[in-house]
């Protein structure tokens, strides 16, 4: 079965600083990979996804992520963090078979942005 690990439970960065959120996955083949963001008391919103092709993926709100097969990683990055980026971030791996659409989520990383 697939699994996702987000090693950092909580990260604090200063506004304007760069950000990297880590995600490691376990899956027997090339996975679908996603990053979602959740504001307090809200649902999740897709930031970006990888399913094939270019391993550097661009998303909304200035985020990007890089798929590294050799490291089983899909880290999320942003060059300059804004106060509005404070939220919880979830990495997810999707299954490529007849259960297409079912995903496994990591436990999330909470991002705090210092002024």
Would you tell me which residues interact with other proteins (CB under 8 A)? Answer: 9, 32, 34, 36, 41-46, 49-51, 90, 92, 94, 98-103, 105-108
Cβ proximity to other proteins, 92 vs 113, nearer residue: 92
Least distance (Å) between residue 95 CB and other proteins: 9
**At its nearest, how many Å lie between other proteins and the CB of residue 23?**
12
End-to-end CA separation in angstroms for the chain: 41
Q: Phi and psi for 42 in degrees, rounded to 5? A: -120, 175
The residue among 17 and 69 lying less far from other proteins, judged by its C-beta, is 69
The smaller minimum CB distance to other proteins, of residues 18 and 58, is found at 58
Instruction: Kindly state the tokens that stand for 51.
Output: 């399913």
22 versus 49: smaller Cβ distance to other proteins: 49
The DSSP line for 4-61 is: EE---SEEEEETTS-EEE--EEE-SSPPEEEEEEE-TTS-EEEEEEE-SS-SEEE-GG
Decide if 92 contacts 5 (C-beta within 8 A): no
CB of 44 to other proteins, least distance (A): 4
């Amino acid at each position: 079965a697939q699994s996702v690990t987000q090693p950092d439970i909580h990260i604090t960065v200063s506004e304007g600083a760069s950000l990297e959120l880590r995600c490691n996955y376990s899956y027997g083949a090339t996975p679908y990979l996603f990053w979602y963001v959740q504001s307090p008391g809200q649902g999740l919103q897709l930031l970006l996804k990888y399913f094939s092709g270019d391993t550097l993926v661009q998303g909304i709100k200035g985020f990007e992520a890089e798929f590294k097969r050799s490291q089983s990683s899909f880290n999320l990055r942003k060059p300059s963090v804004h106060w509005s980026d404070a939220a919880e971030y979830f990495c997810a791996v999707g299954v490529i078979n007849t259960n297409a659409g079912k995903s496994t989520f990591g436990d999330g990383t909470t991002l705090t942005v210092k002024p």
